[in-house]
A and B are shown apart, each in its own frame.
Chain A
Amino acid sequence: MTTVVEARGLRKDFGALRALHGLDLSIEAGEVFGYLGPNGAGKTTTIRLLFDFIRPTAGSVSVLGGSGADPAVRRRVGYLPADLPVPRRHTANDVFDFYGALRGGFDRRWVDQLLQRFELDPTRPVGQLSTGNRRKVGIVQAVAHRPEFVVLDEPSSGLDPLLQREFALLVRELVSDGATVLMSSHVLPEVEELADRVGILRAGRLVRIATVDELRQQARQRIELRTTGAADCAAFAALPGVVDASADGNIITITVEGSVDAVIKVAAQFEVDRIVTHETPLEEIFLGFYEGSQ
């Protein structure tokens, strides 16, 4: 397997602030790498180092065997920034034409097909588009030239569930055509469906690299049971995997690490009205890793 991204001792300081503490990371060809971390952990800093927008304080990073500063490398890379600013009166077509020209042309039929799939009208000025639609412009722009390596910064934020599905399909297609994908996110669900491996970044340090299956076994979930009768959390506290159980009125809140099977089986004894599971922020899901690294 060839290595698409290779970071060695990558460090970046912004004045007195150390944004990255000697990052070591390899992304292999053909994989989808999920880059997870809370906001401010250094995800975007890493991506900006890949593209040579900023220069490392120490260490090195290579992209596709070369430097992100090299136009020949950038030609083979697609980038979806967290925010793609476009002058308001330009249309999506203007964007594709402009960036396409910089690359020496693009596959118009492929772009038309993408526009259809994402239901985007390319003739409307970007200023009139909703946030979600502007996101689509960015997505299509990032893959218009069928790049070998795609970097997606918080890709599906702003997309409704239907389009998130379409987006996931697109990523799978790119990968089956041989592309490598790096996608950053601050929530696990955004990447768990697509990623082969996940790297967890906290305060500029990579605290864990694992496959999604490994993570699922360890990740914490928080479940709320709304019972009709009186709530009793004592029955849950001793179960395997339960980290925390508390009751407030008729709501039982349980935090579980790994499988929730035992909890569900005990819950069956109660008269449960509703089960609510929260999209727990990464900070909490991976509290274990964070605490362990402190």
Chain B
Amino acid sequence: MLWWALGVLVLVAFTAALYPSIRNEAGFDEVIKGLPESMKVIVGYDPNVPVTSPAGYLHGRLFALLAPLVMLVFAISAGSDAIGGAEEAGILEPLLAHPVTRTRVYVERYAANLAMLTALVGLFALTVIVVAGPVGALEGIELTRLAGGCAAMLVLAHVHGAVAFAVGAFTGRRGPAVAVAAALAIAGYLAQSIVALSPSLRWLRFLTPWHAYLDRNTLVYGASAAAFVIPLIAIAGAVTLGHWVFVRRDLR
């Protein structure tokens, strides 16, 4: 956790430190405009928001891919460890020989998991404010928009963390938990790219948590309600199902 926090600090500081050097490079925007459509999607390009503006820069460099990716990897790793990894390491049986119920172990490990991810995203948001502010990389970005974007990122990462947690509770193993959650993340991201590039497949957008998160620059327009509603339903479903199985099955 300490190393993750340090990594987030360095990532944000490094990104912010580069901002002053590109803010006045008008040519940079032209370069991006000349990119093929698929590349623009990857960097989260929006024709109305110049990439040299604070919101365009932070979105492209952090919010569109790098920051959610870091949060996602952390969420999947911690989520799969919480029950699947612990059970594989033989920690759950000695624990459950004590006066605690399986439900309590499940709920407390889930809560700890969510708390860690929230702390990491919180630290990220705080670092953006503290580091990006002084170099002018926050100009024109409302604090509520920033908070909304970070909250949407938290939810996006947590969908995958919750799936990893639930699959771990299902199987008692870390491997399948990581595999399923990672596969979901990759499939979801690909689906989002397809949706962005081919309007005929727009119906796919309901199947991927990435769409609601990426379909707009959250720092300019704020996060959409869909970025919360659909993932929260998925999280509730995964966690409930995981619990149902965990209290009924044999430990491994």
Binding site for B on A (CB under 8 A): 48, 51-55, 69, 71-72, 74-75, 77, 79, 81, 83-85, 99, 102-103
Contact = CB atoms under 8 A, between A and B. Distances in A.
A51 B101 contact: no
B89 A77 contact: no
Nearest to A87: B91
Contacts of B26: none
9 contacts: A48-B251, A51-B93, A51-B96, A52-B96, A71-B99, A81-B97, A83-B90, A85-B91, A103-B99
Nearest to B250: A54
B98 A99 contact: yes
A54 B251 contact: yes
A68 to B, nearest CB: 9
The interface residues of chain A, by DSSP majority, are classed as: loop
B94 A77 contact: no
B100 interface: yes
B99 A74 contact: yes
A81 B94 contact: yes
A266 to B, nearest CB: 51
A74 B250 contact: no
Contacts of A102: 95, 98-100
B251 A53 contact: yes
Contacts, number: 45
A141 to B, nearest CB: 8
B100 A71 contact: yes
Given A48-B251, A85-B89, A85-B91, A53 B98 contact: no
Contacts of B101: 69, 71
Nearest to A79: B97
Contacts of B99: 71-72, 74-75, 102-103
Contact of A74 (B89, B97, B248, B251): B97
Contacts of A71: 99-101
Q: Across chains A and B, which 6 residue pairs bring their CB atoms closest together, nearest first?
A: A71-B99, A79-B97, A54-B250, A75-B99, A53-B251, A102-B98
Contacts of B91: 85
Interface string B81-94: 00000000111011
B24 to A, nearest CB: 49
A147 to B, nearest CB: 10
Interface in B92-114: 93-101
Interface string B178-212: 00000000000000000000000000000000000
A260 to B, nearest CB: 41
Nearest to A138: B94
Given A48-B251, A53-B250, A54-B251, A81 B93 contact: yes
A55 B98 contact: no
Contacts of A69: 101
Nearest to B90: A85
Nearest to A78: B97
Contacts of B100: 71, 74, 102
Contacts of B90: 81, 83, 85
A81 to B, nearest CB: 5
Contact of A51 (B89, B97, B248): B97
A99 B96 CA distance: 10
Nearest to B248: A55
A4 B139 CA distance: 71
Nearest to B249: A55
Given A48-B251, A71-B101, A53 B96 contact: yes
A57 to B, nearest CB: 10
Contacts of B97: 51, 74, 77, 79, 81
A18 to B, nearest CB: 15
Given A51-B93, A84-B94, 18 more contacts: A48-B251, A51-B96, A53-B93, A54-B251, A55-B250, A71-B100, A71-B101, A74-B96, A74-B99, A77-B97, A81-B90, A81-B94, A81-B97, A85-B89, A85-B94, A99-B98, A102-B98, A103-B98
Contacts of B250: 53-55
A54 B248 CA distance: 9
Nearest to B93: A53
A81 B89 CA distance: 13
A99 B95 CA distance: 8
A83 B89 CA distance: 11
